[in-house]
Amino acid sequence: MMQPLLVRIAALALLAIGHVQMSAASTDSDTHSHTPYAVGVKTLFIHDESRPYDALAGVNVGVRSLLTEVWYPVDHSSLTNEKESEAPAYQQAIFGDYVFGRRDIHKKMMTQTTFFHLTPQTVRDGVTKEQMDAAMAELFDRPRNAYINAPLAKTDQPFPIVVMTHGDAGSRYNMETACEALAAQGYVVIAPEHTGNTPFALTGEDPALKEGFADAELAKKMAEVKAVLNTDGTYGPEDSYGQTYTPLASSDETGMAFIQLDKSLVERVNDLRAALTTLEQWNTSGEFADRLDMQRIGVMGRSFGGMTTLAALGLENRFVAGVAVVPLVFPDFRPALPKEALIGEEGETVLLDREGDITLNTVHKPTLYLSGAEDALIIGSGIRMAQNFGGPVPSQNNPHAVLRASYESTDLPVYWGLLKNSNHSSFGISGGYWWPELKPDSQTRTFSPDEKFTLVAPILAHEIQQERVVTFFDAYLKEQSDAMQRLRENPFSDGGFEYEYRNAGE
């Protein structure tokens, strides 16, 4: 079992490079100007001294270091100065802040990672190099709906918490729109990057690696990490866009690949635990002291983060409810493994329980699923799993067959939305969302490859995701009765959103 975490936090002020200056009056155009709160944002590194830097990759030195984003509620009045002619009281964040103002890393992210790609092979016919370069430059300077280090809103009640976990080869902004929407409605959202499974991890920007860092003991431990970093301060091999492991890329028909996958899921859950320990420490002193409700904690994630969400709901009691977006779940492959590979009470596991159900395929807490009806990646994986290990086979009428079986077998509250004409990226912050005019907007049907269709507009997919996520957590973290009623309704039925629920009460 995991030992108690010893986490130290090094807060980090983001670079104010190339920011868009806005007058106080112009803040009314902010997306969240008519919500209860504006949104503040902080970037920091979490240090979990109970683990080495990247054990899954055999880097058993240093300290586990997680680049992390926190979104939180801010009073609208905090953003304005008395004179409208003056600059806003706090700097508005831009996308480039996610990479510490480094255009070289931004370009790597946009051209060398499969999820974000803006390359000649991944754009519409006729898109020129000049257009792609201009699009990347515009994204770097694009304002976000959040303000750097703005003060936490003043209320009499503490704020509930949501932890966000990104996908395979993803980053902490993979559910940015949902994170901002939650903060604007009164949640504190924390999103750690899973070092080793995030592209070009910017560990070199960790303050603990900088000269003169105040905590000399931690700096000494972190100094060992310098040797494994690239010359540009990123981590991981260049030929795999900085990934030291890509657990979902393996196609091992014997089932042995699931051993590594299980380890990676447990490591990810421990990263989420480190994030919770960070918030517990924040809740004892400083600006966030006594402002965080550590009894009302949710978790959400997309893709591999959706799997991590389901794992966390089973392994970590502090999580009350969760949202899993386009997750992959499996049939029971354990008969294909040697018995000694299975795990009993001697350790934590998500997939390899010696007895009982697979944790990943079991509903443990109130859960919301969001799936794509044309998610070829998840559906294709489901078909291959069924061929190799048995279990229900995905079909046109039941594209997510194993998830359907889990949904139908639980006695706990569970909700499920299936968006027509959406694929694996539709709910994500990626190329199609950033550049809808440059990226392809059509694909072939998963079960009718001769038929082509137009993908749902990313803005609609994100609107659905934001509304459902906020409503779900309002119901199960804030325990609002009107939110529970809204959660049983489907305001997006005209947009091709199929929605159902079980055990949700009346």
Confidence of residue 250 (pLDDT cuts 50, 70, 90): low
| pTM tops 0.85 | yes
Residue 456 lies in a domain: yes
- pLDDT for residue 245: 80
What residues make up the domain containing 363?
A: 7-150+158-501
- pLDDT for residue 21: 29
Other CB atoms within a 10 A radius of the CB of residue 28 amount to 10
Confidence of residue 497 (pLDDT cuts 50, 70, 90): very high
Residue 506 vs residue 405, higher pLDDT: 405
Q: Average pLDDT of 376-395?
A: 93
Is the pLDDT score of 15 beyond 70?
A: no
Six-digit token pair at 350? 């998500």
Is the pLDDT score of 26 beyond 70?
A: no
Q: Are strands 188-192 and 64-74 parallel, antiparallel or unpaired?
A: antiparallel
pLDDT in tens, 143-156: 999 999 999 999 99
Confidence of residue 14 (pLDDT cuts 50, 70, 90): very low
Query: What's the burial of 227, exposed, middle or buried (CB within 10 Å: 0-12/13-18/19+)?
Result: exposed
Q: At what angle do helices 401-409 and 376-389 cross, to 10 degrees?
A: 80
pLDDT in tens, 76-90: 999 986 555 566 689
Q: Average pLDDT of 361-373?
A: 97
CA distance 339 to 399: 31
Is the pLDDT score of 6 beyond 80?
A: no
Query: What's the burial of 165, exposed, middle or buried (CB within 10 Å: 0-12/13-18/19+)?
Result: buried
- pLDDT for residue 124: 94
Residue 252 lies in a domain: yes
- pLDDT for residue 29: 43
Residue 397 vs residue 86, higher pLDDT: 397
Handedness of CA 143, 148, 150, 155 (dihedral sign): positive
Strand partners, 164: 300
Chain-centre distance for alpha carbon 295:
21
Nearest to 308 by CA among 371, 235, 248: 248
Number of domains comprising the chain: 1
- pLDDT for residue 442: 96
Residue 2 lies in a domain: no
CA distance 363 to 410: 6
- pLDDT for residue 506: 61
Q: What percent of the chain has pLDDT over 90?
A: 79
Residue 1 lies in a domain: no
Share the mean pLDDT of the chain.
90
CATH number at residue 213: 3.40.50.1820
Residue 442 lies in a domain: yes
Confidence of residue 110 (pLDDT cuts 50, 70, 90): very high
pLDDT in tens, 338-366: 888 999 887 899 999 998 889 999 999 99
Alpha carbon separation from 161 to 70, 280, 479 (Å, rounded): 10, 11, 13
Residue 506 lies in a domain: no
Q: What percent of the chain has pLDDT over 70?
A: 90
Residue 239 vs residue 443, higher pLDDT: 443
Is the pLDDT score of 97 beyond 70?
A: yes
Q: Are strands 64-74 and 159-165 parallel, antiparallel or unpaired?
A: unpaired
Q: Average pLDDT of 94-101?
A: 98
- Are the C-beta atoms of 402 and 392 separated by less than 8 Å? yes
Query: For residue 25, which amino acid is it?
Result: A
SS3 label, residue 359: helix
- pLDDT for residue 369: 98
- pLDDT for residue 296: 98
Chain-centre distance for alpha carbon 75:
25
Is the pLDDT score of 22 beyond 60?
A: no
Q: What distance, in Å, lies between the first and last C-alpha atoms of the chain?
A: 39
Chain-centre distance for alpha carbon 71:
13
- Are the C-beta atoms of 268 and 310 separated by less than 8 Å? no
- pLDDT for residue 12: 34
Is the pLDDT score of 188 beyond 50?
A: yes
Alpha carbon separation from 123 to 132, 438, 439, 448, 460 (Å, rounded): 9, 6, 5, 23, 21
CA distance 132 to 134: 5
Q: Average pLDDT of 422-429?
A: 96
Q: Average pLDDT of 421-436?
A: 95
